[in-house]
Amino acid sequence: MSSLKQQQDSVSSVAEAVAPESWSKVSCPCCVSSEVEPLVLIQLAENVESNTKQWIMDMISAPNRAGGAHLLVHPGEDASWGRIVVAAPRCTLLRATEDLGLCKADKEGNMNLFSFHDRNNFNNVNDMQKFLTLAERQYIVQHELESMRAVKDQRIPGIPGDKGILKSRQNILQKLQKAGVIQDVFPLRDEKKLNALGKEWYLQKRLWGQPLDSIHAYFGGSIAFYFSFLDFYTWALVPPAVLGFFITFFLPGAPPPDGPKADNSTPGPGSLDADDDHLSVSAHMVQAVFSMIWSTVFMELWKRRRAALSYRWGTLTLTEEFQEPRPGFQGEVGINPVTGRREPLFPDWQRQMRVGLVSLPVVGLFLGLVVLGMMGFYYCESTMASIHKASGSIITATLSYLPSVIHIVYTNILGNAYRTVALKLTEWENHREESAFQNHHTTKVLVFTFFNNFAVLFHIAFFRQDLHLLRKRLSSLLILSQVVNQFTEVVVPYVVDRFYSSSQKGLKEDDPAADHMQAEGSLPPFPGLFLEYIELLVQFGYLSLFSCVYPLTAVLLLINNITEIRGDAYKICRLFRKPFSPPEAGIGVWQAAFEVLAFFSVMSNCWLLFLAPRIKVFTQDAGLNPSTVLIFIIMVEHILIVAKLILAFIIPDEPDWVLIKRQQIEYCTMMALKEQKVKHSDTAELPHA
């Protein structure tokens, strides 16, 4: 009750701050309300004329059939009058909820597919603040703004030349952005909610648990799912961490816990010295098999968790619409054969040619550069080592670190260059749908990241077959990457925030809304979750592919993730502008990436098992020749892969209760459709007979 009151206060204060009487009027009688909640800010360029601004405001508040977005606008109150504040009337929000295929709680408390026609069967349908989350309302405003299309050829007033010519069916927002009239569109913060969320989230003392529902309400689907996954993954790290800790410290013949310490002894592969000895045969096998099963069960349980969250957040039934092409899509205007609409078309075969004949070779080239760098590194390292052996001074000892440093720098530069190239290439491939674009882009970056991060480790494991070196390398990579990561992700932004962008810090919640908007506009836009996911994926790779040579991996990752959650939370709350975040039903293509990695982990672990010196000695003692052992290991690998597939098949992807709920929703929809049809056909029956 108190939070409800607070919410209303907060809204009314901001609404008053932008002069309620200047809002455009609603056309629909049911949408009239005493307060209007500002949701999205449109930042215009400085030199925009007032008649252009007026035209834009007219379009945004115009009804859909006139090409408008049917939203409420306010001219803003800053000195330069370069802003438009947008809000949404009730009817627009409700209709968009239906169009997006969102589920909402009905009168009986079940989530059900929202239908505008049946709106009175749903809870809170007269209070948009409770019916939709802030993130949903803001996403709907963005969605409606992006859907504006001219209904006839016309000129945008105040814009000279070709830039101002708007053709029939052309996307208005895109046109205005291309013409430089609109600089930015971003959702407005709600300081009170944000402060409450921060208190619940990164400022609290307890180690576990995040306020996922609050995150979802404030930041929206994609961000809430990232944090849910991060949370779930961190929890899932506990069993392997406990096992790794136990194996390292409590098993007979335990080694010094920090592997790299012993790097002055350099045993050849296969020899059974004190350092390689540290994992007994049984511990090694337990760790390897556990790692494979864990990675499968983890992904399957995540799918169930995902389904439960998706039900809770009403995204179980998101409609895959016949969307408009994505903004960057280029092509000759023609008739879409499916929808019959006039829109840019681009032949599929041409896109496939671009992917196959240009993108693929370029990606291959970069992978080649990675291998080249690795070979260069090994060559330099061995040269340095021999020089050091010959002279043995402190200088050569220091210089022997040079190849590593150069290689790390080279790898980083290559990675950054590749990221730029991958984005440009994917844009040039000209995908029609946003999802296809995302998938192609993510796949490109993933393949490279995988290669870049794991090529050296695979080389050591498969070609050098040197477990000692692998362990050394893995532990230093883990520790180094975590230090760098914590530094760049938490310390640097914090310092920047503290000393350079202190201007907005002085703002209080009850300062004028215009100042808040000004402050928010000056923040950098949120860079997206791509790099965060990549980081988790690389972590997961270290753990599932190689952890059996360095059992402490999970412990280190666990420690890292507990700080990571807070760091990420702080970043997204304080250091960046609030992003738009569409309702989503999961983590999308990343789930597939994690599953592929879990699949590779079987092969990798089996191979490492074959290489383990203790096992070699053990089988030699038993009088088995290497070929027999190899064949045995391959059979184990194949059986484990099949077992993995069966396990993934047996564990249902959604809990029973979600399944029943989903079926109920589908059944209700089908029955509703049938009833409508029957009504129609009953009335249509007689004339036809």
Closest contact distance (angstroms) between CB of 338 and a second copy is: 4
Fill in the DSSP letter of residue 354: I
* 207 three-state secondary structure: coil
Residue 638 within binding range of a second copy, rule CB under 8 A:
yes
Residue 684 within binding range of a second copy, rule CB under 8 A:
yes
**Which residues, other chains included, contact 219 with Cβ-Cβ below 8 Å and sequence gap of 6+?**
135, 572, 578, 579, 581
Closest contact distance (angstroms) between CB of 83 and a second copy is: 32
Residue 27 within binding range of a second copy, rule CB under 8 A:
no
Of 116 and 428, CB closest to a second copy: 116
The binder of a second copy chosen from 47, 266, 416, 681 (CB under 8 A)? 681
User: Which ranges of 147-220 would DSSP assign to H, the alpha helix?
Assistant: 172-178, 191-201, 212-219
Residue 30 within binding range of a second copy, rule CB under 8 A:
yes
Using CB under 8 A, which residues numbered 305 to 334 contact a second copy?
321-322
The binder of a second copy chosen from 249, 487, 632, 667 (CB under 8 A)? 667
Closest contact distance (angstroms) between CB of 287 and a second copy is: 22
The three-point CA angle 283-286-291 to 5° equals 125
Alpha carbon separation from 36 to 13, 17, 42, 111, 204 (Å, rounded): 10, 11, 17, 27, 33
Closest contact distance (angstroms) between CB of 131 and a second copy is: 15
Whole-angstrom distance, CA of residue 38 vs CA of residue 29 = 20
Long-range contacts of 462-469 (CB under 8 A, 24+ apart): 462/607, 464/269, 465/269, 465/611, 466/269, 467/269, 467/276, 467/549, 467/608, 467/611, 467/612, 467/613, 468/266, 468/267, 468/269, 468/275, 468/276
Whole-angstrom distance, CA of residue 297 vs CA of residue 644 = 9
Applying CB under 8 A, the span of 105-113, 201-209, 381-389, 670-678 interacting with a second copy comes to 670-678
Closest contact distance (angstroms) between CB of 453 and a second copy is: 19
Closest contact distance (angstroms) between CB of 160 and a second copy is: 39
Binding mask 79-108 for a second copy (x = CB under 8 A): -------------------x----------
The binder of a second copy chosen from 13, 110, 115, 123 (CB under 8 A)? 115
Residue 29 within binding range of a second copy, rule CB under 8 A:
yes
Residue 673 within binding range of a second copy, rule CB under 8 A:
yes
Of 341 and 498, CB closest to a second copy: 341
Q: What tokens appear for 71 in the block?
A: 């939203």
Residue indicated by tokens 């000892």: 397
Residue 339 within binding range of a second copy, rule CB under 8 A:
yes
User: Which residue type, as a one-letter code, is found at position 500?
Assistant: Y
The binder of a second copy chosen from 631, 632, 639, 646 (CB under 8 A)? 631
Neighbours of 669 (CB within 10 A): 15
Residue 25 within binding range of a second copy, rule CB under 8 A:
no
Fill in the DSSP letter of residue 77: -
**Cα of 577 vs its chain's centroid, Å:** 17
Using CB under 8 A, which residues numbered 590 to 629 contact a second copy?
603, 626-627
Neighbours of 288 (CB within 10 A): 25
Residue 353 within binding range of a second copy, rule CB under 8 A:
no
Q: What tokens appear for 275 in the block?
A: 């350092």
Binding mask 359-388 for a second copy (x = CB under 8 A): ------------------------------
Q: Which residues lie near a second copy (CB under 8 A)?
A: 28-30, 98, 115-117, 120, 321-322, 337-339, 348, 603, 626-627, 630-631, 634, 638, 656, 660, 663-664, 666-667, 670, 673, 676-677, 680-681, 684, 688-689
